Amino acid sequence: MTSLKTLLFFTLLVFTGELFAAQPVKLFEIKGAYEDAIMADHLLFLAAKKAEGTVPDLRVFRLDNKGKTTQIGSYRSKDYAHSIARKGHYLYLVDGKFGLETIDISDPSKPQLSSFLPLDGYSHKVVIQNNLALVTSGFQGLHLIDISQPTQPRLISTFQAYPPPEQNSANDNVTSASSYGGEEDYDNQREASGGGDINVTWEDLITVEGALDVAVQGQYAYIAYGSEGIVIADISNPKKPLKVSTIRVQHTAESIFYKQQILYVTLGLDGLRLINVANPEAPKNLARITGRCYAMDVSVANNKAFLADGQCAANSLYVFNIADPRHPLKETAFSDKVNHVRLFKNSILAMGPDHAQAFVLQH
């Protein structure tokens, strides 16, 4: 078995072969609650959103050709590490309440803060296109940042598709969960309380609403904008982003992935939506995939879609054949309690509330 895992792991690092629908082989498991990951040059960078106090929330692991992981470095952000992106020997980390941290990883065993750019809002996701970093910041929308000089990132503009709701300061910092576009993230709580609106703290609401995720392709940014739906923006002029269209949804748009003119958007209790955006001004629904729990994240490669279906105790990572995106076909499901999923060449990293597990699928 060891020789098989060694061969498979070497293959995943060198080749970009097909992802096959078969029983997976687990390569390794790392304890901890992680939300984002980057693999490069035999190194794995993990963002641990829920690390408390002074516990490092960016952790660096070295992988050998036997599938063994060894932690070699760590870093503590200003708040919580929600998302990371890499360009050259810099990592860009968004940390929730504060903004964008640029981290020098030229020595991965000693990540060092290179610069910090404070940002309004609650920063959830960072993606990079050329010299532009795009950061979703909840109610504050999408920040566009010039990173041509990594040590001096510069905010170019902020795109706000919808005005944020007013904070209710008269009632102990409490607001209605439905005050912003009919927030659907609290459906289970509504049902438990007999229906109707429930009150949540402003601190809670800002972490689950507004601009949550973004995918970029060419001149367009595709934004998962919470209960407002999916917003498509033209960013060809980063100084003046323009709203092109909005795709309304029944539940909260949380995670978004772009592949070959198709958006894959997780909608919590409403599953996964596939949308054709060949014409960004007139998107067309293709299909909807339902899960058992709560669709939280999605990644796509070749003709496979990998859906992280949340807190199900077993088989929470679904694999769908999307050769015909109008008729997705479920092929298999595995792993447990998968909140986030990332694909690296032909390996899969499934991240849950207490562990990250890497798999390679056999032919």
Summarised one tens digit per residue, pLDDT across range 51-63 is: 777 788 999 999 9
For the CA atoms of 196, 199, 204, 207, what is the dihedral angle to 10 degrees?
40
* Whole-angstrom distance, CA of residue 85 vs CA of residue 146: 14
In a domain, 318, yes or no: yes
**pLDDT at residue number 90:** 97
Least confident of 114-123, 129-138, 190-199: 190-199
* Whole-angstrom distance, CA of residue 85 vs CA of residue 102: 10
What confidence tier does 362 reach under pLDDT thresholds 50, 70, 90? low
Give the whole-number percent of the chain exceeding pLDDT 70: 83
In a domain, 334, yes or no: yes
In a domain, 248, yes or no: no
Q: Are strands 340-344 and 329-334 parallel, antiparallel or unpaired?
A: unpaired
In a domain, 49, yes or no: no
Rounded to two decimals, the pTM is: 0.87
- Cβ burial of 107 (10 Å; 0-12, 13-18, 19+) is exposed
In a domain, 2, yes or no: yes
Q: What is the DSSP string of 10-30?
A: HHHHH---PPP-S-EEEEEEE
The residue segments making up the domain with residue 348 are 1-30+276-363
Q: Considering the chain, what is the average pLDDT of its residues?
A: 86
**pLDDT at residue number 173:** 52
Residue 189 has pLDDT above 60, yes or no: no
Give the count of domains, the chain.
1
Residue 195 has pLDDT above 70, yes or no: no
* Whole-angstrom distance, CA of residue 307 vs CA of residue 186: 21
* Whole-angstrom distance, CA of residue 4 vs CA of residue 18: 18
* Whole-angstrom distance, CA of residue 93 vs CA of residue 220: 22
* Whole-angstrom distance, CA of residue 93 vs CA of residue 100: 6
In a domain, 313, yes or no: yes
In a domain, 132, yes or no: no
**pLDDT at residue number 291:** 84
* Whole-angstrom distance, CA of residue 253 vs CA of residue 270: 10
Residue 268 has pLDDT above 60, yes or no: yes
In a domain, 336, yes or no: yes
What confidence tier does 232 reach under pLDDT thresholds 50, 70, 90? very high
